[in-house]
A and B are shown apart, each in its own frame.
Chain A
Amino acid sequence: MQCYRCGAELTASDYCPSCGTNVRIQKRLQSLSARCYNEGLEKARVRNMTGAVESLRQSLKLDKNNIDARNLLGLVYYETGEVVAALTEWVISKNLQPEDNDADRYVEQVRSDVARFETENQTLKKFNVALRYCRQNALDLAVIQLKKVLQMNPGYVRAHLLLSLLYLNDKKPVKARTEANRALALDTGSILGARYLKEAEELLMPGEAEASESKRKEAIRYQSGNEDIIQPTIPMGLRRGGVFAGLLAGALLGIAIALYLILPARIQSMNTTNQQEIAAISEENDAKNARLLESEQREATLALEIDDLKAEIDELIQAGNRSTTADLLMSAVTAYLNVPEEDTAETQAQRMDQVEAIMNTYDPAATEETPSPQEQSLYNAFIAVVGEELTKRSYDAGYAAYRRKDYETAIPALARAFRYDGERDDALFCLGSAYYESGDTDAAKDTYNRVIQLFPNTKSAESAEAKLAEINNAS
């Protein structure tokens, strides 16, 4: 401690040892300054920054040379985001005590981190811009600007307070409360922070702010990240006495939930699952049945188509046969009419040979189809012309074959002879005999019966009756 008049170092005495000035009041002032510094230090330790600033400023008013108080005031300013105010205090501190001063270290640390210092300076500028926006009533822009400020320096208390005020003005009490709480977390002695918090809670629960305040005090409050966690405290009596009852009630409640909530829900879930599976199987079964029915219908359709095709094929075959017999007849007629320029007996015989050869193969009865009227008409007309000659030729050939016991040749030849000329009872009788001799007694009996029916009272009929009697006797 130095004398305010001569600067000499003072002793325990109330007078200066150098100039003899009474320094009792000076000592008293310095003692009061130290007391204020201690108060400021205590407040700073519990983060009551507002209170700390107040006490330290008072300390410096009492003794401007209280270096510890000035340095601490700079630290408090720096902690609340007021970097320039902090630097100002530290620079003054250095000027007052150039040697052995902690302010040297503080200033050096701030200057060494140029990027951070520049960021903090920008933060202050942006805050001032936000404040200007507020005064120009551009409140939305101010909010945006303040958010940027807090993004750059979350410890800037005044920015939190101004943002909280803006939220209150915008009727957003939840956000206002959050910002006020953040400000109070940084500065527990902030009167503005406490006011804004109270105002926000009144907006949230009108008339219950005081009650909520008392509850808030009873609750355990802490901050996790950006969230404020409020954990209500439980009375000790309930905590101790109700432990076993609580466990029992919890167990019973669990069983009840399992029986009345979880189990039915589980059963319902299983039923739903089973019903879904049944429905899926049923749908699959229906699909299979539908496919089976479709296959059966297709099979029936195909069978009908096959039948139709078969019928069509038969018709085509029969048409082919008809065309074949008709063609044969036409060929025979053509051969007969194909008269050469010099028609001699020999050429006539040759043409008849051709006609006979063709007509030998002509047998409409073999096709089991009735000839068309045109074909039948042509046949009748042609037989009327060549029938006599063909009958003669067929009968002669048949009889000759019969005589030499060539029944395979005789039977068709004799049948043709009777077909060409239905009056030839001898040809029919000879046909029956050929059947009989060939061993075909049934055909022989039929043929003999026809002779008897068609030509009664004739020699052939008598012979036929005799043959029938012979056959009957033989059997």
Chain B
Amino acid sequence: MINFEEELKKFRPSLEVEDAESIITGQDLDDMSDVLVDLIKETREIQDKRPSDHEGR
């Protein structure tokens, strides 16, 4: 038996034209490449920090 209240929660309001600009500008467009780039950057930063730590010892 379907629970009406629960089913109703699955329906979200439609996007209206007035909201289009904010939706476009606020949309997260990052894809897997961006994630990988960020990941590589973080990895390199970590690698860059490690020799300085070693030199300090």
Q: Identify the A interface with B (CB < 8 A).
A: 4-5, 25-26, 29, 33, 60-65, 82-85, 87-88, 91-92, 121, 124-125, 127-128, 131, 134-135, 158, 161-162, 165, 168-169, 192, 195-196, 199
Contact = CB atoms under 8 A, between A and B. Distances in A.
Nearest to B9: A135
Nearest to B1: A199
Given A84-B20, A87-B20, A125-B16, A92 B33 contact: no
A83 B23 CA distance: 13
Contact of B14 (A88, A158, A165): A158
Which one of B17, B20, B34 has the highest number of Cβ atoms from chain A below 10 Å of its Cβ?
B17
Given A134-B11, A168-B4, 18 more contacts: A26-B33, A61-B32, A62-B32, A63-B32, A63-B33, A64-B31, A82-B14, A84-B23, A88-B15, A88-B20, A92-B24, A92-B27, A121-B16, A124-B15, A128-B14, A135-B8, A165-B2, A196-B2
A154 to B, nearest CB: 16
Q: Top 7 nearest A-B pairs by Cβ distance?
A: A84-B15, A64-B31, A124-B14, A169-B4, A128-B13, A121-B17, A29-B32
Given A62-B31, A63-B33, A64-B29, A84 B4 contact: no
B49 interface: no
B10 interface: yes
A158 B2 contact: no
29 contacts: A5-B37, A26-B33, A29-B33, A61-B31, A61-B32, A63-B31, A64-B33, A64-B34, A82-B14, A82-B15, A84-B14, A84-B20, A85-B15, A87-B20, A88-B15, A92-B24, A121-B17, A124-B14, A127-B14, A128-B14, A131-B11, A134-B8, A135-B8, A158-B14, A169-B4, A192-B7, A192-B10, A195-B2, A199-B1
User: Which secondary structure characterizes the binding site on chain A?
Assistant: helix
Contacts of B46: none
Contacts, number: 83
A124 B16 contact: yes
A133 to B, nearest CB: 11
B16 A88 contact: no
A94 to B, nearest CB: 10
B54 to A, nearest CB: 26
B33 to A, nearest CB: 5
A168 B23 contact: no
Given A63-B31, A64-B30, A91 B24 contact: yes
A161 B11 CA distance: 9
B55 interface: no
A330 B36 CA distance: 164
A124 B16 CA distance: 6
Contacts of A128: 13-14, 16
B19 A84 contact: yes
A165 B31 contact: no
A119 B15 CA distance: 14
A135 B7 CA distance: 11
Which one of A64, A127, A162 has the highest number of Cβ atoms from chain B below 10 Å of its Cβ?
A64
B35 to A, nearest CB: 9
A60 B11 CA distance: 24
Contacts of B14: 82, 84, 124, 127-128, 158
